[in-house]
Amino acid sequence: MSLAARSDPTASPCTVCNGQPRDDLTGLLPRGAFMAAMAEALRRPGAGICLLLLDLDRFKAVNDSLGHPVGDALLRAAAARIGRAVRAGDVVGRLGGDEFAVLLAAPVDGRAARRLGARLVKQLSRPYLMGGQVAHIGVSIGAALVGPIGQDADGLLAQADLALYAAKAAGRGCAKLFGPAMRATTDAVLALRLDLREALERQEFTLFYQPLLNIAQNRIEGFEGLLRWHHPVRGLVAPRRFIPMAEQLGLMPAIGAWALRAGCAEAVRWPEGQRLALNVSASQFHDGRFPALVAQVLAETGLAPARLELELPEAALVLAGETALLRQMRALRGLGVGLALDDFGTGHASLTQLRGMPVQRLKIDPSLAGDTAMLRAVLGISGVMGFVTTAEGVETPAHLALLREHGCTEAQGRLISQPLPVAQLWTVSPPRVPRILQAA
C-alpha cells in the first residue's frame, strides 16, 4: 500500500508555496500566506474562484488514542491526499490544527466545486495505515463561490464558514456549497467581522478580571485578565463569538498585544505579590517576536516579570513543531515570566511533551469538574511531575472540597467570583473566602 504519509505534499500538482512560508508539519501554505494568496486572487479582474474549508472529522479521537506522532503523520497524509486531489494552479493551505483550505482557480462553477468536494470526502475518508496501525477519519467541507459582482476575502470566508457549519449539522462526512438560504446569516456574521476589524481602533475592548484563590492559604493571590468586547450596538459580545473570528481574521496578535499592555499597566498598581494571568493565542505565541514584545511591555509598565503568568492553550501544541514551541517558551522563561498550560485535560498534551516543557502550572479544564476519577488522576500526575495546578470552572462547594482534598493549588470560577471590571476587583474581600471554604 502506498502511504500518503510517506509522500511529499509539495510534489502534488497544486500551487503550494512557490518560495512563500511553509507550514512546518505539512509543507502547505500556513494561514497568513494562504489568506494573502486568496486576497491577491480576488483582486484580479473577473476572478471566478471558489474557496473550500475542510475540517477533519474524528481527528482528535485518533490523536488521543494513537498518540501525537501518529496524529502528526495523519495530518501529513491528509495534506498529501488533498494536494493530489486538486488541479494545477489551485492553492492549498493549512489554517491550523486539523483545518485545511483550498482555493480553486478559474474556471470553476458550482458543479466543479461539488465534484471536488465529493472527491475530497471520498479520498480523506479512506483508511490510513500509520506505523502498522489503521486510522479512520473523515472530513466536513464548506464551499463558497465568488458571486457575479465579486467578493472580498472576509465575505467569501464567512460564506464558506457557514457552509462548513451546515455540513457538520448534516452529520459530517459531506460537502456543502453556500446557497441563498444561508445569506441572511452570512450578512449578520459579515457585519460582525467588519465591526471587529475596527473594534481595536475604536477602543471597544476591555479586560475583566477573575480572582485566583489559593486553596491552602485561603486568600486571593492574583487575577486572570479576560478579554471583553463592548460593541456599540450589541453590547457585550461573548468571547466564544468573537475570539475565534479574530483568530481567523488574523487580528489576535494586535488584540493580544493590547491586552498585554492594558493588563500589565493595571497589575503594576495592585498590592505586591498579586499576579496577573493572561491568555495567549496560538498565533501570538508562535510569532517569533512575541518574547521581545513581552520584554518591551514589562519595561514600559514596570511590572516585575515574576508577577506575569502567560497561559498557552493546550490545543496550540498541535499548531507548531516542538522545537519552535520550546524556543518560544524558553525565551519567555528567560525573562522571568511564568508559563501555564491552559485547558489541560482536553487531550492534546502527552506526558512526554509535558516533561520537557518549561511550564510551571497546569490549568485544569472545566470539563473535568464532573469526572471525579479523572480529576483525581490529573491532580496526582501533576503532583508527581512537580506542577502547581489551577482548577477552572469551580462552581460548587463539593468541587472545591475535592480539589482541596487532593492537593490542587488554586481554584477559579463562579463559586469564588464572576469575572469583574477593574473597579470591582477588591470587592472580593478576604472574609468571603473562608466562608466559602467552610461551606465546602
Candidates 173, 140, 135; CA nearest to 3 is 135
Helix (H) or strand (E) holding 241: helix 239-248
- Asked if 30 and 90 touch (Cβ cutoff 8 Å), the reply is no
Candidates 17, 368, 421, 15; CA nearest to 205 is 421
CA distance 17 to 33: 9
Radius of gyration of the chain (CA): 23
Copy the grid coordinates of residue 198.
475596527
Q: Which of 60-69, 140-149, 342-351 has the lowest mean pLDDT?
A: 342-351
Average pLDDT over residues 21-45: 87
- The answer, yes or no, to whether residue 28 has pLDDT greater than 90, is yes
What number of CA atoms fall less than 13 Å from residue 341's CA on the CB side? 29
Distance (Å) of CA 157 to CA 34, 97, 114, 171, 289: 12, 18, 17, 22, 28
Average pLDDT over residues 394-417: 91
- The answer, yes or no, to whether residue 271 has pLDDT greater than 70, is yes
- The answer, yes or no, to whether residue 120 has pLDDT greater than 70, is yes
Report pLDDT for 428.
58
β-bridge mates for residue 308, sequence order: 276
- What domains can you pick out in the chain, each with its CATH number? 4-188 (3.30.70.270), 200-439 (3.20.20.450)
β-bridge mates for residue 364, sequence order: 344, 391
Q: With bands split at pLDDT 50, 70 and 90, how would you rate the model's confidence at 228?
A: very high
- Residue 71 Cα to chain centre, angstroms: 17
β-bridge mates for residue 135, sequence order: 128
Q: Which one has a higher pLDDT value, 219 or 265?
A: 265
CA distance 21 to 31: 10
Copy the grid coordinates of residue 14.
497544486
DSSP state of 50: E
User: Terminal CA-to-CA distance of the chain, rounded, Å?
Assistant: 59
CA distance 385 to 299: 33
Q: With bands split at pLDDT 50, 70 and 90, how would you rate the model's confidence at 48?
A: confident
**Three-state DSSP state, 15:** strand
Q: How many helices (H) and strands (E) does the chain have?
A: 15, 16
Q: Which backbone phi and psi does 242 adopt, to 5 degrees?
A: -100, -25
Report pLDDT for 185.
67
CA distance 439 to 243: 36
- The answer, yes or no, to whether residue 224 has pLDDT greater than 80, is yes
pLDDT in tens, 137-192: 999 999 998 865 557 788 888 889 889 988 887 888 999 998 877 776 666 777 88
Please tell me whether the overall predicted TM-score, pTM, comes out greater than 0.85 for this model: no
- Asked if 291 and 332 touch (Cβ cutoff 8 Å), the reply is yes
Average model confidence (pLDDT) for the chain?
83
Burial of residue 296 (number of CB atoms within 10 Å: 0-12, 13-18, 19+):
middle
- Sign of the dihedral defined by the CA atoms of residues 208, 299, 275, 344, in that order: positive
Q: With bands split at pLDDT 50, 70 and 90, how would you rate the model's confidence at 32?
A: confident
Helix (H) or strand (E) holding 61: helix 59-66
Q: Which one has a higher pLDDT value, 287 or 40?
A: 40
